[in-house]
Amino acid sequence: MGQIVFIPRELDPNEPRVAASPETVKRLAGLGFDVIVEKGAGLGSRIPDQDFAAVGAAIGTAADAKKADVVLKVRRPTDAELKGYKPGAAVIAIMDPYGNDAAVAAMAKAGITAFSMEFMPRITRAQVMDVLSSQANLAGYQAVIDAAAEYDRALPMMMTAAGTVPAAKTFIMGVGVAGLQAIATARRLGAVVTATDVRPAVKEQVQSLGAKFLAVEDEEFKAAETAGGYAKEMSKEYQAKQAALTAEHIAKQDIVITTALIPGRPAPKLVSAAMVASMKPGSVIVDLAVERGGNVEGAVPGKVVTTGNGVKIVGHLNVPGRVAASASLLYAKNLYAFLETMVDKTTKTLAIKRDDELVKATMLTDGGQVVHPAFAKAVEEPRTAPAAIPATTMVADAAAKPAARKKAAAKPKGTA
């Protein structure tokens, strides 16, 4: 009997995704693993048990986790799940460790080797394993679909004998993977799209998708990107200039989608209550960062809020999970590609190379210890709620003086 890979049913009722697909189960078997899928694990992603069984998986129960050498999950295991894992098992999932030091410490205490997929380095070799990109891509798409559903008007311009329907004006704030897909989807649906970001490198990408780029371009802006490709936190001075440029723009928009996240930090505030109040009745804002504190003042996790002036603020949780059938297929491939790098092809067994750059970047716990440098104190000082780092208001003041806005806009247009 080969080593066992276990695919559990996710316990969170708001998590319909699953960590395997029939394709990846078949490929795992080809690597030499015996695969056990918990009964009903794929139903939320439209994958019935018989589809897994047809490619060689055994359909089991949660108790089968005790036999597993590898557990593939979507979300971090709960304390109850950890009790069912054998020490030394490799558990690979989206671990969401920031601010959850006690949970990280619990994984170390359970003796598992835990890997956090969202820490996968952004290098060429790891592109196929990049869960943040695969899931954010779908989140950006779904954000536009959700916005269109709430907007309850046509997005494209339509010229008819009875008159012309104007195109919806859509503004994307934050142009990472989710933002780029939101731009592309909104453009396909016929909206007039503008976008903003603090990173210079994305201007060309925005324009290549047929959208107009909006940003304050100064010396700080030109250096506003980390080596990993993420946005840097901007100074108060830059935030004020960006606010002056965008406040009037937001007031004219029909749809605003915010996507800005900074790893390990609360989401930066992009849209103030005054900006929301300046928008037309029937306008829609979709906040993709609502689970991290939100980019929009007034956004409520898990709810669609209608403000006093008739603006809808959409705060859906787990947006990739709203297209679970697609999200699971991509996520399963991310997991398989990573696990494959840790398999000895000769012996067909798990052989974790702890000096491998992918392993070093993603391994949270190993041998009863927290080994990731960012969380090394989790065992000694476990805490469930670290002191909150206040979210930064990147676009802070909807009441910016027009003169300030014009001064900012007079600068040459730049990349974000």
Active site residues: 122, 127, 130, 133, 230
Task: Identify whether the C-beta of residue 89 lies closer than 8 Å to the C-beta of residue 112.
Answer: yes
Q: Collect all residues with Cβ–Cβ distance below 8 Å to 94 and sequence separation of at least 6.
A: 74, 75, 76, 116, 117, 118, 131
Cα–Cα dist 25/181, whole Å:
29
Query: Tokens for 225?
Result: 């990107």
β-sheet bridge partners, residue 306: 312
Query: Tokens for 154?
Result: 């046509």
For residue 63, count other CB atoms closer than 10 A to its CB: 9
Closest CA to 231 of 273, 284, 173, 278: 173
Cα–Cα dist 357/361, whole Å:
6
Task: Identify whether the C-beta of residue 56 lies closer than 8 Å to the C-beta of residue 32.
Answer: no
**AA letter at 376:** A
Task: Identify whether the C-beta of residue 51 lies closer than 8 Å to the C-beta of residue 22.
Answer: yes
Task: Identify whether the C-beta of residue 397 lies closer than 8 Å to the C-beta of residue 272.
Answer: yes
Task: Identify whether the C-beta of residue 247 lies closer than 8 Å to the C-beta of residue 399.
Answer: yes
For residue 208, count other CB atoms closer than 10 A to its CB: 11
Cα–Cα dist 277/296, whole Å:
12
Please give the full DSSP string across 177-224, using - where no structure is assigned.
Answer: HHHHHHHHHHHHTT-EEEEE-S-GGGHHHHHHTT-EE----SHHHHT-
β-sheet bridge partners, residue 58: 36
Residue 414, φ and ψ in degrees, nearest 5 = -130, 180
Q: Dihedral (C-alpha) 27, 33, 34, 36: value to the nearest 10 degrees?
A: -70
